Amino acid sequence: MKILERLTPDRPLGVDFYRNSTDAPACARLKVWSQGRPIPLSERVPVLEHMGFRVVEESTFRVATPTGDASSAQPDAPVWLHDMQLERLGGGAVDLDLLGRRLEAVFLMAMRGMAEDDGYNALALVAAMPWRDIALVRMLSRALRQFGIRYSQDYMWATLTRHPAIAERIVALFHARFAPRQGLSVDDRADHETEILHEIDTALDAVDSLDEDRILRRFVNLVLAAVRTTYYQLDRDGLPKPVMAIKFDSRRIDDLPLPRPLYEVFVYSPRLEAVHLRFGKVARGGIRWSDRPQDFRTEVLGLVKAQQVKNAVIVPVGAKGGFVPKQLPVGGSREAVQAEAIASYELFMGALLDLTDTIAPDGQVIPADTVRHDGDDPYLVVAADKGTATFSDIANGIAQAHGFWLDDAFASGGSAGYDHKVMGITARGAWEAVKRHFREMNVDIGKVPFTAVGVGDMSGDVFGNGMLRERTTKLIAAFDHRDIFIDPTPNPGRSFEERARLFALPRSSWQDYDKSLISAGGGVFPRSAKEITLSKEAQAAIGLKKERVTPAELMSAILKAPVDLLFFGGIGTYVRAPEETNDQAGDRANDAIRITGPELRCKVVGEGANLGLTQRGRISAALAGVRLNTDAIDNSAGVNTSDVEVNLKIALGRPLRDGRLDRPGRDTLLASLTDDVARVVLRNNYQQTQALSLAQRRGLEDLGFQQRLMQTLERRGLLDRAVEMLPDDVEIAERRSRGVPLARPELAVLLAYAKLSLSHDLLESSIPDDAYLGRELGRYFPPVVGERFPDALTEHRLRRDIIVTQLANSMINRGGPTLIVRIADQTGAAPDRIAAAFAAVRDSFDMVALNTAIEALDNRIPGDLQLALLEQVQNLLLDRMVWVLRRLDLSGGLAGIVDRHRAGIAAIEAALDHVLPKPAQLARAGRTSELAAAGVPEQLAQQLADMPQIGGALDAIRVADRVGRPVEEAAATWFAVAAHFDIDRLSIAARKIVVADYFDRLALDRALDQIGDAARRITAETMADGLSGPAAVEAWTKARGSAVDRVRAAVQEIAASGLTLSRLSVAASFLGDLAPG
């Protein structure tokens, strides 16, 4: 009667395991009371079999219950009693005194759906394991499935139930690591773990099966790799939370697929499974609703790999999460499915926050409610992704309910954030890459109509915004998951207007396109069609000479179409390398459509979407002549915008807390900064693609340094070339012999890794605390924020990280991916000193303004000339950085160094008309005229023509300081020395020497540096008697006699006779002999 009285509509089941006095030890009996309906055998029997029982016989009765019982929530609801006789599978006694309550709990939880029904439930019978501990073991097994273990769930539960003592010890090890017992010291906890591990190791020695041994050790390994858990947390009612989460140190997990994140959180309940991967303590990335229950981590890993590279431009490193709702209503409405997905998402976000520390208003870290085997970890930021585009406010509401310090900065893009689709920011960023590709072919797509095909539809953010970037776009074909659109000869203006209408139409599809506006032979065809008849016009437009085609054939043909642009804005991987299989592409849904890189006939690929091509596919396309970057480069504007939003909200959190700003005022301020944020973000897209073009322009010249960079990163454990599809040393040697440099997609990966490694190194140094370099903080935020709330920037929680990110981006964008390894190998300097030298040279020569002026010439001068001018500035930067590191003491602060040299450079530039020798004057005037004739504004043309002379300004300033004379006199003498020995011609010829070998490159740079050293010493000597300019050189030469004449003749002969590296080294040695250091 007690069980009957406890039955309610919410808890309609009651159970009792018992035994009759005549029953055998291996037998047990079970009574199940069910309110509201009888439970079919088909529901009961599998649960009991998974628990390790066989149902021998069963009887069902309807129970007469008293009517009108006020204590019952549903007094007239019928109750059924199922009485079953059970027998233990495999024999063996059933000790109900020990196991009865635990068996009842497991059965009830499985029947209620609060525990999954599988073979792990037998652990209650064979190992006396409580149902929550069984759920823990099941969670570890589900994690192992996602981590790529090759054994099935059935095999793993069979193994644990076959070795119940070891299974129990594995759970005991977990409790020893994490049970929140008061008064247990760290050492005591570690000692207890060691004892249990010894017991497990001893027991494993008796396991005969190698596979079973491996399975058991993988469970042990997961427990040891765990650093936090929510397992012991209780809800407001004091009950265990229904969702469990474990945070792992990914580097400690055995056999984990590469690349390994720093941390990952696995989240489990019968309702969902989820994973969140992070490559650093400060990391961000989107949360995806996955439809791949068996391998969603593989999907997320592929995305976070791209995210990690993409995040090189922002403060956090890469992160990504994915969740699989396991109880979506079968056959349910769209609304019902969405509701369950949202509920799963909420559980996922709550579990992540339950594991994460937070920060108090005073800056103190408040630990999460868990035993921690890692340090403080309070930074957790998420973003939207596939299926979660509208979930940001949901996530922020959960963060606010948790009291999480980031408040509504936890998930970017919510109602008080930047709407990426409204801004069109991801597509606009990708379009910067597209414009650059065409601009470097001397095509201005803002004015010249161009043909395009694409993947996506106008309702989508990236594709829709992308196809509205230019009115000159002639979209001849596109497809999404529903339809195929073909418009063989579109009118650019009318088709643009129609695409804009579809973009504004909620949930539009290609079927909504006004068919009367489609050119002759075009149409919209459903992908579900058995066959499509192509007109001659359509065949000609997409380059497919076939009248009747399947939808798959047509979509493949669209990807291969002979057009100007292929733009990816939809989900899927459509291009692989010839040597790759479709399985390796990892997108089975598009196997029938996918093509190879060399089959592309477009001129340019724009990757607005993620993973449109495999990395090998990109490389093969690039080697075949297609212009493209990577998805991480092209569509980084979205993550960049989100990061700026988060950091703005963190900054404004200070005035928000102290009352200088209220919430509506903050939201208004954020909205007013939309255009400023977009400008900052798009500037990054512009400069990153420009950095790639400059690196590509250097070609084989930089291959040695690129190889050196890869080797250095590998030794530090920061790069796995195989994972990133970068060539090994053998392949590099083979490419060098064929004269084939790295492809642009490979350079894109190196660019990202160069930034990430430099950021890491600078963050560990005192560079972000330098007052001069701290100015980078002001360049990150819109000016109005610093003007109104200066302390919001100086006291920003991520101040050091932002400074480092800004500086690292500027350094690598301007100096190239190999900047650090190149300068370090030439000077032995550490990254922090290299950063200081970079800032000193950049600001002394006012290179920001100079580069900006050259960049303003987009589509006004030939693309190759524009890159050549930028390369000229880059060469000056690299050369003078080495000079600074070898000759200046940077420890006293940069401000004084920059002020002194900027003033000296300006003085020399103003005096060039008077101090340059006649031949140099003529060359300068000729270069100015040449540039002006090519479309360069006269003032800028003059600056660029001055650059070869201005490069020696630092030497002249140093000589002036040494001899105590005006810098103009030192410059006149420096130029006279250079003319006397033909040093300018020697230097120009030296830069044309092609060297692919790393050590030859070092030797070339060192020889040039030695020539500069010798020239500086000679200049100082010639001024010793009070003379300057040509007169000083003439007097010095006369005094030294024939020794100078011999060296001069030898150097001039070397410069005129076809310069080689060995000859250059000889010239450097001759000049050095004239003025020993």
* pLDDT of 368: 86
First-to-last C-alpha distance (Å) of the chain: 105
Contact 833, 660 (CB under 8 A): no
For residue 1061, give every residue at least 6 positions away whose Cβ sits within 8 Å of its Cβ, in sequence order, or none: 993, 995, 1000, 1003, 1004, 1007
Residue 821 DSSP SS3: helix
Averaged pLDDT, 1034-1051:
88
Domain assignment present for 931? no
Closest CA to 604 of 426, 817, 439, 425: 439
Say whether pLDDT at 126 is over 60: yes
Which neighbouring-strand residues pair with 919? Answer: none
How many angstroms separate the most distant Cα atoms in the chain? 128
* pLDDT of 560: 98
* pLDDT of 463: 96
Which of 383, 415, 447 lies at the terminal end of a domain, its last residue? 415
For residue 877, give every residue at least 6 positions away whose Cβ sits within 8 Å of its Cβ, in sequence order, or none: 814, 815, 838, 841, 842, 845, 847
Domain assignment present for 914? no
Averaged pLDDT, 458-483:
96
The Cα 909–Cα 290 span in angstroms is: 61
97 φψ region: left (φ > 0), alpha (ψ -120 to 50), beta (else):
alpha
Closest CA to 287 of 308, 269, 304: 304
- The catalytic position among 320, 435, 649, 755 is 320
At 555, list the tokens.
């979509």
Instruction: Look up tokens 């990914």; give the residue.
Output: 250
* pLDDT of 76: 67
**What DSSP string runs through 1066-1077?**
HHHHHHHHHS--
pTM of the model: 0.87
Which of 595, 618, 635 lies at the terminal end of a domain, its last residue? 635
Question: In the predicted model, what is the mean pLDDT of the chain?
Answer: 92
**What DSSP string runs through 301-347?**
HHHHHHHHHHGGGSSSEEEEEEEEES-PPTT--HHHHHHHHHHHHHH
Say whether pLDDT at 72 is over 50: no
Contact 112, 327 (CB under 8 A): no
CA distances from 701 to 288, 494, 768, 824, 871 (A): 42, 48, 33, 17, 13
**What DSSP string runs through 761-798?**
HHHTSSGGG-TTGGGHHHHHS-HHHHHH-HHHHHT-TT
* pLDDT of 833: 96
Q: Do 292 and 433 lie in a common domain? A: no
* pLDDT of 49: 95
In the chain, the percentage of residues whose pLDDT exceeds 90 is 76
The Cα 914–Cα 912 span in angstroms is: 5
- CATH code of the domain containing 299: 3.40.50
Which neighbouring-strand residues pair with 366? Answer: 358
Q: Do 7 and 153 lie in a common domain? A: no
Highest mean pLDDT among 2-11, 315-324, 737-746, 959-968: 737-746
Domain assignment present for 607? yes
The Cα 401–Cα 898 span in angstroms is: 50
Domain assignment present for 743? yes
Domain assignment present for 787? yes
Q: Is 421 a catalytic residue?
A: no
What residues make up the domain containing 50? 1-112
Total domains present in the chain: 6
Q: What are 774-819's pLDDT values in tens digits?
A: 888 888 999 999 999 999 999 999 999 999 999 999 999 999 999 9
Q: Do 631 and 669 lie in a common domain? A: no
Q: What are 35-68's pLDDT values in tens digits?
A: 889 999 999 999 999 999 999 999 999 887 665 4
Contacts 24+ apart (CB under 8 A), 939-946: 940/853, 940/854, 943/850, 943/853, 944/854, 944/869, 944/872, 946/909, 946/912
Q: Do 154 and 88 lie in a common domain? A: no
In the chain, the percentage of residues whose pLDDT exceeds 70 is 99
The Cα 983–Cα 1051 span in angstroms is: 8
At 479, list the tokens.
């497809």
Strands 595-596 and 317-325: unpaired
Cα angle 858, 861, 862; round to 5: 100
Domain assignment present for 651? no
The Cα 278–Cα 146 span in angstroms is: 16
* pLDDT of 993: 80
Contact 40, 33 (CB under 8 A): no
The Cα 839–Cα 859 span in angstroms is: 30
Give the CA count within 13 Å in the CB-facing half-sphere of 834: 26
Residue 40 φ/ψ, nearest 5 degrees: -60, 155
Least confident of 63-72, 168-177, 763-772, 783-792: 63-72
- CATH code of the domain containing 83: 3.30.70
Contact 779, 644 (CB under 8 A): no
Give counts: helices (H), strands (E), the chain: 45, 23
Q: Do 719 and 599 lie in a common domain? A: no
CA distances from 711 to 715, 726, 728, 997 (A): 6, 11, 9, 14
Q: Do 339 and 487 lie in a common domain? A: no
For residue 99, give every residue at least 6 positions away whose Cβ sits within 8 Å of its Cβ, in sequence order, or none: 17, 124, 125, 128
Instruction: Look up tokens 């994140």; give the residue.
Output: 261
Q: Do 243 and 383 lie in a common domain? A: yes
CA dihedral 277, 280, 283, 286 (to 10 degrees): -20
* pLDDT of 951: 85
Averaged pLDDT, 370-387:
91
CB atoms within 10 A of CB 697: 18
Q: Cis peptide leading into 490, omega within 30 of 0?
A: no
* pLDDT of 1077: 66
Say whether pLDDT at 70 is over 60: no
Which of 186, 205, 225 lies at the terminal end of a domain, its last residue? 225
Q: What are 1061-1076's pLDDT values in tens digits?
A: 888 888 888 888 887 8
Q: Do 128 and 24 lie in a common domain? A: no
Domain assignment present for 1067? yes
At 804, list the tokens.
């480092």
Q: Do 236 and 333 lie in a common domain? A: yes
Q: Do 69 and 134 lie in a common domain? A: no
> What pLDDT band is residue 129 in, cutting at 50, 70 and 90?
very high
Angle between helices 998-1022 and 967-980 (to 10 degrees): 120
* pLDDT of 1072: 86
Which neighbouring-strand residues pair with 381? Answer: 284
The one-letter code for the residue type at 703 is L
Q: Do 76 and 162 lie in a common domain? A: no
CB atoms within 10 A of CB 346: 17
Domain assignment present for 935? no
The Cα 703–Cα 709 span in angstroms is: 10
Contact 824, 830 (CB under 8 A): yes
The Cα 921–Cα 908 span in angstroms is: 14
* pLDDT of 66: 62
Q: Do 621 and 700 lie in a common domain? A: no
CA distances from 206 to 97, 212, 659 (A): 30, 11, 67
CA distances from 1035 to 437, 826, 1012, 1026 (A): 55, 35, 21, 11
The Cα 703–Cα 722 span in angstroms is: 18
Averaged pLDDT, 69-73:
46
